[in-house]
Amino acid sequence: MSELPPTTSVKRWLVTTNHKDIGILYTITALFFLLFGGVLALLIRVQLWDPANQVLSGLAYNEAVTAHGLIMVFWFLSPFGFGFANYFVPLQIGADDLAFPRLNAVSYWMYLFSGVLLGISFFQGGTLSAGWTMYAPLNIPMYTPSIGSTGAVLALAMFTIGITASTVNFLTSIHHSRAEGMGIMDMPMFTWGILATVWMMLFAFAALLAVGLILAADRVLGSVYFSATEGGSLLWGHLFWFFGHPEVYIVFFPALGVMLELFQTFSGRRLVGRKWVIISICLISVQSFLVWMHHMFLTTINLEIKTLMMATTIGISLPFDLVVFSLIYTLIKGRIQFTTPFLFAFGALLLFILGGITGVFLGAIVLDYEFRGTYWVVAHFHYVMFGGATALFGGAYYWFPKVTGKMYDELLGKLHFVIFFVSFNMVYFSMFLGWETPRRVFEYNPAFQTFHQIGTIGAFILGFSFFIMFYNFAKSYVAGEPAGDNPWDYSRTAEWAVSSPPPLENWPNRPSYASGKLEFVKDYVPDGGPAVKADGDGNAATDGGNSHSDHIKEYPYWDKHPSHASIWPFALSLMTGFFLFGLSGFADSVTFIVGESIASTSVEISNVVYPVFIVVGLVGMIASGVKWGLEDFYAPPSEFAERWPFNGVEKVKLGMWFFLASDVIVFGAFLSAAIFVRYNAGWMTWEPLTESLPGLINTFVLITSSFTVILALVAAHRKSRQGILASLGATILLGFTFLAIKLWEWEHEIFDRGVMIASNAHGDPIQASIYYVTTGLHGLHVVIGLLIACYLFVRTYQGHYLEDERPIEYFGLYWHFVDIVWVFIFPLFYLF
Amino acid sequence: MIDPIILQQGSDWRAQAEVFDEIFFVFLALGTLVGTIVVAYTLWNVYKYRDDGGEPKEGFDAPTVGELPTGQGGPKAKKLFLSFGLSAIVVISLVVYAYGILLYVEEGPDTGEEGDIEILVEGYQFGWEYEYPNGHTTTGEMIVPADQRIDIEVTSRDVWHNFGSSELRIKSDAIPGETNSNWFSVSSEEVQAQGGEATFRVECFELCGSGHSAMKGQITVLPQDEWEEWYEGTEGDDSGSGNESATGNESATGNESASIDDAVSVSGAVAGGVPV
Q: Which pLDDT score, from 0 to 100, does residue A306 have? A: 92
List, for residues A189-203, the tens digit of each pLDDT value. 999 999 999 999 999
A266: Cα separation from own chain's centroid: 31
Q: What is the mean pLDDT of chain A?
A: 93
User: Which chain B residue's Cα is nearest to A363?
Assistant: B95
Report in angstroms the alpha-carbon separations of A440 from A61, A72, A236, A297, A830. 8, 16, 20, 19, 45
- Examine the pLDDT at B265 and tell me if it is beyond 60: no
Residue of A nearest to B204 (CA): A438
SS (H, E, C) A651-710: HHHHHHHHHHHHHHHHHHHHHHHHHHHHHHHCHHHCCCCCCHHHHHHHHHHHHHHHHHHH
Contact (CB, 8 A) for B220 and B198: yes
Residue A609 CB contacts under 8 Å (≥ 6 apart), including other chains:
A585, A589
Interface probe, candidates B210, B253, B262, chain A, greatest A C-beta count within 10 A: B210
Q: Which residues of B touch A235 (CB under 8 A)?
A: none
> Vertex B197, ends B196 and B203: CA angle to 5°?
160
Measured between beta carbons, the chain B residues lying within 8 angstroms of A372 are: 162, 164, 171, 205
Chain B contact for A274 (CB, 8 A cutoff) = yes
- Are A276 and B159 in contact (CB < 8 Å)? no
At residue A595 the predicted structure's pLDDT band, cuts being 50, 70 and 90, is confident
Facing A234 at nearest CB: one of B64, B69, B178: B178
Residues 233-252 of A with CB under 8 A from B: 233-234
Q: Is A58 on the interface with B (CB under 8 A)?
A: yes
CB-nearest to A366 from B49, B101, B213 is B101
Q: How many CA atoms lie within 13 A of A697 on its CB side?
A: 13
Query: Which of A335, A366, A443 is opposite residue B214, by nearest beta carbon?
Result: A443
For residue A548, pLDDT over 50 is answered with no
Query: Is residue A515 less than 8 Å (CB to CB) from chain B?
Result: no
Helices (H) and strands (E) in chain B, counts: 6, 10
DSSP summary character for residue A61: H
Examine the pLDDT at B113 and tell me if it is beyond 90. Answer: no
Neighbours of A55 (CB within 10 A): 15
Cβ atoms A306, A297 nearer than 8 A: yes
A421-442 confidence digits (pLDDT tens) = 999 999 999 999 999 999 999 9
B248 min Cα distance to partner chain A (Å): 23
Average pLDDT of the residues in A715-734: 95
Give me the residues of A, 35-54, that contact B with CB < 8 A: none
Shortest CA distance from B3: residue in chain A: A436
Position A585 pLDDT exceeds 60: yes
Higher pLDDT, A536 or A599: A599
Lowest mean pLDDT among A163-172, A557-566, A697-706: A557-566
Instruction: Considering only residues A469 and A549, tell me which one the structure prediction assigns the higher pLDDT.
Output: A469
pLDDT in tens, A335-394: 999 999 999 999 999 999 999 999 999 988 989 999 999 999 999 999 999 999 999 999
* pLDDT of amino acid A730: 97
Do the Cβ atoms of B175 and A299 come within 8 Å? yes
Residue of A369, A509, A680 best to disrupt the B interface, most CBs of B under 10 A: A369
Closest to A131 (Cβ–Cβ): which among B66, B166, B207? B207
Residue B9: band (very low, low, confident or very high) from pLDDT cuts 50, 70, 90: very low
Whether residue B72 and residue A682 make contact (CB cut-off 8 A), yes or no, is: no
The average confidence (pLDDT) of chain B is 80
Q: Compute the count of residue pairs across chains A and B with CB atoms less than 8 Å apart.
A: 314
Closest Cα in chain A to B41: A328
The answer, yes or no, to whether residue A304 has pLDDT greater than 80, is yes
Quick one: pLDDT at residue B94?
86
pLDDT of residue B96: 87
In degrees rounded to 5, what are phi and psi of residue A183? -70, 170
User: What local confidence, expressed as pLDDT, does residue A533 receive?
Assistant: 62
Which chain B residue lies closest to A546 (C-alpha atoms)? B65
How far is the C-alpha of A285 from the C-alpha of A197, rounded, in Å?
8
Contact A270 B71 (CB under 8 A): yes
- ipTM field: 0.90
Tell me which chain A residues have a C-beta less than 8 angstroms from the C-beta of B83: 321, 325, 329
pLDDT tens digit sequence for B161-197: 999 999 999 999 999 999 999 999 898 888 999 998 9
Instruction: Tell which of A300, A314, A372, A683 to mutate to test the B interface (max B CBs under 10 Å).
Output: A300
Q: Return d(Cα B178, Cα B171) in angstroms, integer.
A: 15
Residues of chain A contacting B121 with CB distance shorter than 8 Å: none
* B214-256 pLDDT, tens digit each: 999 999 999 999 999 999 998 755 544 433 333 333 333 333 3
A335 with B51: Cβ contact below 8 A: yes
Q: Give me the pLDDT at residue B248, please.
A: 36
* A299 in reach of chain B (CB within 8 A): yes
Question: Which pLDDT belongs to residue B164?
Answer: 96
Residues A324-333, mean pLDDT to the nearest whole number: 94
Confidence of residue B110 (pLDDT cuts 50, 70, 90): low
**How far is the C-alpha of A618 from the C-alpha of A18, rounded, in Å?**
27
CB A57 to CB B60 under 8 A? no
Tell me the pairing of strands B170-174 and B161-165.
antiparallel
| pLDDT (tens digit per residue) in B39-73 | 999 999 999 999 988 888 777 888 999 999 887 76
Residues B72 and B49: their CA atoms lie apart, in Å, by 16
Q: Which residues of B touch A234 (CB under 8 A)?
A: 175, 178
Do A273 and B83 count as a contact with CB atoms less than 8 A apart?
no
Q: Report, as an integer, the average pLDDT of A664-693.
A: 94
What pLDDT, on a 0 to 100 scale, did the predictor assign at position A559? 53
Cα gap B145→B222, rounded to integer Å? 5
CA distance A490 to A305: 48
Among A residues 173-202, those touching chain B with beta carbons less than 8 Å apart: 181-182, 186-189
Amino acid identity at A259: M
Q: Which of A143, A438, A445 sits opposite B204 (nearest CB)?
A: A438
* pLDDT (0 to 100) of residue A545: 36
Q: What is the pLDDT of residue A549?
A: 36
How far away is chain B from the Cα of A62, in angstroms, using its nearest Cα?
7
Contact state of A492 with B65 under an 8 Å Cβ cutoff: yes
For the whole model, what pTM was predicted? 0.92
pLDDT at A513: 95
> From the CA of A337, how many Å to the nearest CA of chain B?
5
Residues of chain A found within 8 Å of residue B72, distances taken between Cβ atoms? 269-274, 330
Residues of A (665-684) whose Cβ lies below 8 Å from B: 679-683
pLDDT of residue A763 exceeding 70, the answer is yes
Using an 8 Å CB-CB cutoff, list chain B residues near A228: 177
A136 contacts in B (CB within 8 Å)?
160
